[in-house]
Structure 1
Amino acid sequence: MGEVVMEANGLESARDPIALFQRWLKDAEGGELNDPSAVALATSTLDGIPSVRMVLMKGADNDGFRFYTNVDSQKGTELGENPRAAMCFHWKSLRRQVRVSGTVTELPAGDVDEYFHSRSRLSQLGAAASQQSRVLASREVLESRVTELEVKFPGEIPRPEYWRGYLLRPERVEFWKDGAGRLHDRFLFSRNGDAWRKERLFP
Structure 2
Amino acid sequence: MSNDPFALFDTWYAEARTSEPNDSNAMALATADADGRPSVRMVLLKGHGRDGFVFYTNRGSRKAGELAANPHVALLFHWKSLRRQIRIEGPVAPVTDAESDAYFATRSRDSQLGAWASDQSRPLDARATFEARFDAARARFDGQEVTRPPFWGGYRVTPQRIEFWQDRAHRLHERRLFTPAADGTWHEGLLYP
TM-score bracket for the superposition, by shorter chain length: over 0.9
**What is the SS of the residue equivalent to 2:148?**
coil
- Counterparts of 1:37-186 in structure 2, within 5 Å, are 37-154=25-142, 155-186=144-175
Which residue identity is paired with 2:147? P
Q: Which runs of 5+ in 2 are unaligned?
A: none
Which residue identity is paired with 1:40? A
User: 2:176 aligned to 181, 187, 192, which one?
Assistant: 187
Report the RMSD for the aligned CA atoms in angstroms. Answer: 0.7
Q: 1:28·1:36 contact (CA, 8 Å) conserved in 2?
A: yes
User: 2:7 aligned to 4, 19, 29, which one?
Assistant: 19
**CA drift at 1:76:** 0.2
Alpha-carbon distance in structure 2 between the residues aligned to 1:60 and 1:19:
11
For normalisation by structure 2, the TM-score amounts to 0.97
Alpha-carbon distance in structure 1 between the residues aligned to 2:18 and 2:46:
17
2:188 match: 198
Alpha-carbon distance in structure 2 between the residues aligned to 1:156 and 1:76:
26
Q: Which runs of 5+ in 1 are unaligned?
A: 1-12
**CA drift at 1:45:** 0.7
Q: 1:22·1:60 contact (CA, 8 Å) conserved in 2?
A: no
**CA drift at 1:191:** 1.2
**What is the SS of the residue equivalent to 1:65?**
strand
Deviations 1:132-151 (A, max 9, x none): 00000111000100101111
Q: Structure 1 stretches (4+) deviating beyond 2 angstroms?
A: none
Alpha-carbon distance in structure 1 between the residues aligned to 2:181 and 2:60:
34
Which residue identity is paired with 1:192? A
Aligned residue pair count: 191
Alpha-carbon distance in structure 2 between the residues aligned to 1:92 and 1:170:
23
**What is the SS of the residue equivalent to 1:170?**
coil
1:29 aligns with 2:17: yes
Q: Percent identity, aligned pairs only?
A: 50
For normalisation by structure 1, the TM-score amounts to 0.93
**What is the SS of the residue equivalent to 2:158?**
strand
Q: 1:43·1:79 contact (CA, 8 Å) conserved in 2?
A: yes
Alpha-carbon distance in structure 1 between the residues aligned to 2:47 and 2:7:
13
Alpha-carbon distance in structure 2 between the residues aligned to 1:39 and 1:136:
26
